[in-house]
Amino acid sequence: MSTIAYINVEKMSFSYQKSQFSLNDIDLELYKNEITALVGDNGSGKTTLGKILTGILKPCKGNIFINGENISKLDLGEIGKKVGYLFQNPEKQIFATSVYEDVSFPLEINGIEPNEIKDRTDSILAALEIDHLKDKYPFNLSHGEKQRVALAGIMIHKAEYLILDEPTTALDSERKELLGSMLKNLNAQGTGILIISHDEKFISKYCSRVIRMKKEGGIINE
Amino acid sequence: MSKFDPRSKLIFVIAVSSLGVFIKDLYLLSSVTVIGIAAAQFMSADLLKAVRKLKSLFVMILVVAFLQSIFIHEGRILLEIIDIPLITSAGLEKGIEFLLRMTVIITTATIITTSTSREMIQGLVQLKVPYEIAFLVSLGIRFLPMLTEEMKDSFTALRLRGVVFKNLSLKKKIRVFTYLFLPIIAGTIKKAEKIALSMETKGFRTKSHRTSYLILKYSGADYFLIAFSIILLLIFICANYKLN
C-alpha cells in the first residue's frame, strides 16, 4: 500500500434533509495503487458516499481531500478532471449525437489541440473496444455499450482516480471479464479505482481491498 | 378549510387570476392581491413553500418591476442622477402593478395544490373536460418537478466531464448548454414512454365509459365560494370600468 492516499476523508458526516439516513464520522483513505470495492446492503449509503467523494453531494461535517486539495474549494469540473465518476445509469452522462463527439467534446471545450483530441479519443475508444461505434448515435446502443461510452467520457481527461457505481449490472460474463481486465490494466498504469458493487464474484476476482458500509452509517475496512 | 370541491376552487382561481391580469387600477389590484392571499391562507395553501419554490421567479419579477420603474419616464421624478430621471412615480407604479399581478397569479395558483391530482382530474371530468385531457393536465403538472431534477442531474454530470463552466467564454457556455438538451429530451421521452406503457398495461381507456369511485359533490361552502367568485368578478370589473 502506498503511503499517501489520493482521496482522504476526515471525520465526514452527511445526512439528507428529509430522511433518517446519515453517514457518521467517516474516515477513509483511498490509494491509487488499489482497486477498492465499496459494498453494503441496499440503502447503506454506497452511492451517497461515491457522490460525496466527487463533490456531487456536500458533507455536513468533515473534510475530503483529493490529492491534498480540499474539494470544498474545487469546482465540479476541476474534480471531474481528477476523479471520474460513472453513474449507475450511463444515459445521464451522454450528451452528444455521436459516440466520437460525446467522448471528445470536453477536450474541445477545454481548448485542447485538434490533433491531440483525435489521438486521445481514438486511443480511449480502442482501449474500450468501442471504436467501431464511433459514428453511432449513443442512445441507440445497448446498456453495456452506453456504459463503455460513458466510461470513455470520464477517462478522456486521464483522471487519476475512477469511481464506478455498479459498473457490472448490465454486462454479460464476457463483458465483465473485459471490464475487469481493463480496470486491472488501468490500475497497473497508476489509476486508482473504487467500485461500488454487489457483484461479489467480480469483487473477489478484481479488487484488492473491500470496504463495507454499515446500515447505521459507518464503514468497516476489510 | 381546504376541503372545498376542486371545481369551486378552480372557478375561484380563474376569477381572481383573471382580475389580476385585467385590472389596471393600482388600488383595485392591491385589493385583489389581498383577497387572493387571504383566500390562499384560508384554504390552507402552503404559501411559504410556494414562495420558496418560486424564489428564483420572484427575483426575476422584482428585477422586471425595478426595470419598469426605471425605464418609464412619466410622472413625478423620484430619483435622478446627473439630470437623468432614474425612477419616476409612473414607473414605480408600473413596477408595483407588475409585482402585484404576478403575486395574485402565483398565490391563487397555490390554492389548486390543496387538492390531490386525483381530485383535480375528477373535478375537470365533472366539469365535462374529456378524461384524457384532464389526465394529461395532471400528468403534466407532476412532470415539471421531474424535468427540473433531470436538468440539475444533467448539468452536474456535464460539469463532472471536466467542464469548468465559470472559466468558459460566452460562446462556449452557449455550446455547453446545447449539450444539455439531448439527455434531458431523451430522458423525458423515455419516461413518457414508460408511463404510456404502464398506462396501457393498466388498461387506460380500454372501455369507452369510465366509472369512478370518487364522485365529487358540491357542499354549501362550495356554492358560497362560486357565488363569491362571480360577485367579486362583477364588482371589480364594474369598478375598473368606472375608474378608467
Q: Is the pLDDT of residue A214 over 90?
A: no
Q: Which residue of A has its CA nearest to B180?
A: A95
> Is the CB of B159 inside 8 Å of chain A's CB atoms?
yes
How confident is the model over A115-140, as a mean pLDDT? 92
Q: Do B154 and A105 touch (CB under 8 A)?
A: no
A189-203 pLDDT, tens per residue? 889 999 999 898 999
Q: How far is CA B69 from the centre of its chain?
A: 24
Interface test with A, best of B146, B155, B160 (most A CBs within 10 A): B160
- Reported as a pLDDT band with limits 50, 70 and 90, residue A162 is very high
Q: Is the pLDDT of residue B228 over 60?
A: yes
List the single residue in B157, B176, B190 with the smallest CB-CB distance to A109: B176
From A44's Cα to the closest Cα of chain B, the distance in A is: 22
From A74's Cα to the closest Cα of chain B, the distance in A is: 10
Residues of B in contact with A85 (CB under 8 A): 160
Q: Do B163 and A109 touch (CB under 8 A)?
A: yes
From A38's Cα to the closest Cα of chain B, the distance in A is: 21
- Predicted confidence at residue A2, as pLDDT, reads 53
* pTM of the complete model beyond 0.90: no
Q: Is the pLDDT of residue B77 over 80?
A: no
- Predicted confidence at residue A178, as pLDDT, reads 84
Place of cell 474534480: A79
From B189's Cα to the closest Cα of chain A, the distance in A is: 12
List the single residue in A75, A97, A156 with the smallest CB-CB distance to B164: A75
- Predicted confidence at residue A66, as pLDDT, reads 94
Domains of chain A: 7-221 (3.40.50.300)
User: CA–CA separation, B181 vs B229, rounded Å?
Assistant: 42
From A71's Cα to the closest Cα of chain B, the distance in A is: 13
> Is the CB of B194 inside 8 Å of chain A's CB atoms?
no
* All cell numbers assigned to B166: 465559470
List the single residue in A79, A139, A153 with the smallest CB-CB distance to B186: A139
Q: Is the pLDDT of residue A158 over 90?
A: no
Q: Is the pLDDT of residue B74 over 90?
A: no
Other CB atoms within a 10 A radius of the CB of residue B149 amount to 11
Other CB atoms within a 10 A radius of the CB of residue A98 amount to 14
- Reported as a pLDDT band with limits 50, 70 and 90, residue A217 is low
The A residues from 125 to 154 touching B (CB cutoff 8 Å) are 139, 153-154
Please provide the average confidence, as pLDDT, over all residues in chain A.
Answer: 89
Q: Which helix (H) or strand (E) holds B78?
A: strand B77-81
- Reported as a pLDDT band with limits 50, 70 and 90, residue A222 is low
- Predicted confidence at residue A3, as pLDDT, reads 67
> Is the CB of B160 inside 8 Å of chain A's CB atoms?
yes
Percent of chain B exceeding pLDDT 70 equals 94
Q: Is the pLDDT of residue A90 over 50?
A: yes
User: CA–CA separation, A169 vs A144, rounded Å?
Assistant: 9
> Is the CB of B179 inside 8 Å of chain A's CB atoms?
yes
How confident is the model over A130-139, as a mean pLDDT? 92
HEC sequence for chain A: CCCCCCEEEEEEEEECCCCCCEEEEEEEEECCCCEEEEECCCCCCHHHHHHHHCCCCCCCEEEEEECCEEHHHCCHHHHHHHEEEECCCHHHHCCCCCHHHHHHHHHHHCCCCHHHHHHHHHHHHHHCCCHHHCCCCHHHCCHHHHHHHHHHHHHCCCCCEEEEECCCCCCCHHHHHHHHHHHHHHHHCCCEEEEECCCHHHHHHHCCEEEEECCCCCEEEC
Domain ranges of chain B: 6-243
- Predicted confidence at residue A31, as pLDDT, reads 93
How confident is the model over B197-224, as a mean pLDDT? 88
- Predicted confidence at residue B1, as pLDDT, reads 47
B79-115 pLDDT, tens per residue? 777 777 777 777 778 878 888 888 888 888 888 888 8
Residue closest to B147 by CA, chosen among B186, B108, B188, B208: B188
Residue closest to B153 by CA, chosen among B108, B188, B196, B192: B188
B201-212 pLDDT, tens per residue? 988 878 877 888
Distances (CA, A) of B33 to A62, A197, B49: 47, 55, 18
Q: Do B172 and A76 touch (CB under 8 A)?
A: no
From B180's Cα to the closest Cα of chain A, the distance in A is: 6
Helix, coil or strand: residue B209: coil
Distances (CA, A) of A197 to A26, A28, A41, A133, A154: 19, 18, 10, 27, 19
- Predicted confidence at residue B56, as pLDDT, reads 66
Please provide the average confidence, as pLDDT, over all residues in chain B.
Answer: 84
ipTM of the complex: 0.87
Fill in the amino acid letter for B121. I
> Is the CB of B170 inside 8 Å of chain A's CB atoms?
no
User: CA–CA separation, A42 vs A39, rounded Å?
Assistant: 9
Q: Is the pLDDT of residue A179 over 50?
A: yes
A24-79 pLDDT, tens per residue? 888 999 999 999 999 988 888 889 999 999 999 999 999 999 999 999 999 999 99
B127-163 pLDDT, tens per residue? 999 888 888 888 887 777 778 888 888 889 999 998 8
